[in-house]
Amino acid sequence: MPQTRLSLVILALGLLQCLLLVLIALTTLPENSVGLAHGQYDGMRIGGDGAARYTPIATCAYWLQLVVLAQICCMVALGVKPARRSRTFWMLLTACFGAAAFVWTGLVTSYASFLATGETSMLAGFPIATTWLVYAIWFAGLALVALYSLGFKHYVWSDADQRAFEALVEQNRKSQ
Contact of 124 with 131, CB cutoff 8 Å: yes
* 51 or 24: which leads in pLDDT: 24
Distances (CA, A) of 42 to 33, 84, 99: 18, 61, 44
What's the mean pLDDT in 77-83? 89
Domain of residue 147, residue span = 3-175
| Cα–Cα distance measured from residue 69 to residue 104, given in angstroms and rounded to the nearest whole number | 10
> 145-169 in b/e burial notation, b at 16+ Cβ within 10 A?
eebbeebeeebeeeeeeeeeeeeee
**Neighbouring C-beta atoms of residue 40, cutoff 10 Å:** 5
Q: Is residue 104 scored above 70 in pLDDT?
A: yes
Q: What's the total number of domains in the chain?
A: 1
Q: Is residue 31 scored above 80 in pLDDT?
A: no
Q: Which of 111, 91, 92 is nearest to 103 (CA)?
A: 111
Please write the tens of the pLDDT for every residue from 118-171: 888 898 889 998 999 899 988 899 999 999 899 988 888 888 888 989 999 988
* Contacts for 12 with CB less than 8 Å, ≥ 6 apart: none
Distances (CA, A) of 147 to 1, 11, 77, 132, 165: 18, 24, 11, 22, 24
